[in-house]
Homo-oligomer: A and B are copies of this chain.
């Protein structure tokens, strides 16, 4: 069977090009370029890297950005003040608060204080609820990326049985809702599985599209996959390997080698969902600058 390897990198580049063209035309019309702000609290190395790569991605498509770097000692009140400032600031179309926050700050409280109209991470409950109710919304990065990958890879979802493994707030739960909505590139019958699911294999074997978002290396094995299924691997794990130059390799929630022999389409790790998530943020920022979600 010939298999379609879904090239997340290529699709992400294609979307970036589309965004760049649109931003360029805004600037041509003397409109302001979209602007993304990021708040980062403390010195967490991974967070610094993420924010830097988001800035770089913005730059590559003409979106301007700014970073508010606050010391780890910032109080919750001080952070809320910055949030309230950005909620009002007309120059900022959308912004993100890089997680995790220091322990003395209530993360939930901060996320709830973000103006939903500027919540380009799609983490505020108003955006989650709008999506669920079929209203325009900022979609969270990973499920948004999955929707784009499926659409642009011409993988039919309507009337298909999608099985999602993992019910996290940022991936499994929202993608299960998105794919079941009455909408183009959705309309699937969706089963959401998780740690309490019994007879998981009986269920995954029914999947036309299987989405693995469990966070366990190689959890999805070939015996769990129906021949001809599409397999989307959301996991990304570093596995130590002294034989590799970097001392590790990256892998996902799916046993790629074996599953690829049965699937009709599959996302690799790395190079599948990964490159799509940052693109989702750019898409949301562009939408925010056009004021089309909240009007």
In whole Å, how far is A294's beta carbon from the nearest beta carbon of chain B?
9
- Is A130 in the interface zone, CB < 8 Å from B? yes
Of B181, B191, B193, the contact of A167 (CB 8 Å cutoff): B181
Contacts of A187 in B (CB 8 A): 194, 196
| Complex alpha-carbon distance, A137 and B188, angstroms | 27
- Is A135 in the interface zone, CB < 8 Å from B? yes
- Closest residue of chain B to A190, judged by CB? B192
| 0/1 interface trace, chain A 127-146, chain B, CB 8 Å (1 if under) | 11111111101000000000
Q: Are B173 and A132 in contact (CB under 8 A)?
A: yes
Other CB < 8 Å A-B pairs besides A176-B180, A177-B177, A189-B203, 18 of them? A108-B135, A125-B133, A125-B137, A127-B129, A128-B128, A128-B130, A129-B132, A159-B196, A161-B203, A167-B181, A173-B180, A182-B194, A187-B194, A188-B196, A189-B191, A189-B192, A189-B197, A189-B198
In whole Å, how far is A192's beta carbon from the nearest beta carbon of chain B?
5
Supply 8 A–B pairs (Cβ within 8 Å), ascending by A. A125-B126, A126-B129, A132-B174, A180-B194, A187-B196, A188-B196, A189-B194, A189-B198
Q: Are A124 and B132 in contact (CB under 8 A)?
A: no
Contacts of A135 in B (CB 8 A): 108, 125
| Complex alpha-carbon distance, A181 and B128, angstroms | 15
Q: Could you tell me the dominant secondary structure of chain A's interface residues?
A: mixed
Contacts of A173 in B (CB 8 A): 132-133, 177, 180
The A142-200 residues at the B interface (CB cut-off 8 A) are 158-159, 161, 167, 169, 173-174, 176-177, 180-182, 187-194, 196-198
| Complex alpha-carbon distance, A192 and B127, angstroms | 21
Contacts of A124 in B (CB 8 A): 129
Of B128, B182, B191, B192, the contact of A133 (CB 8 Å cutoff): B128
Contacts of A182 in B (CB 8 A): 167, 194, 196
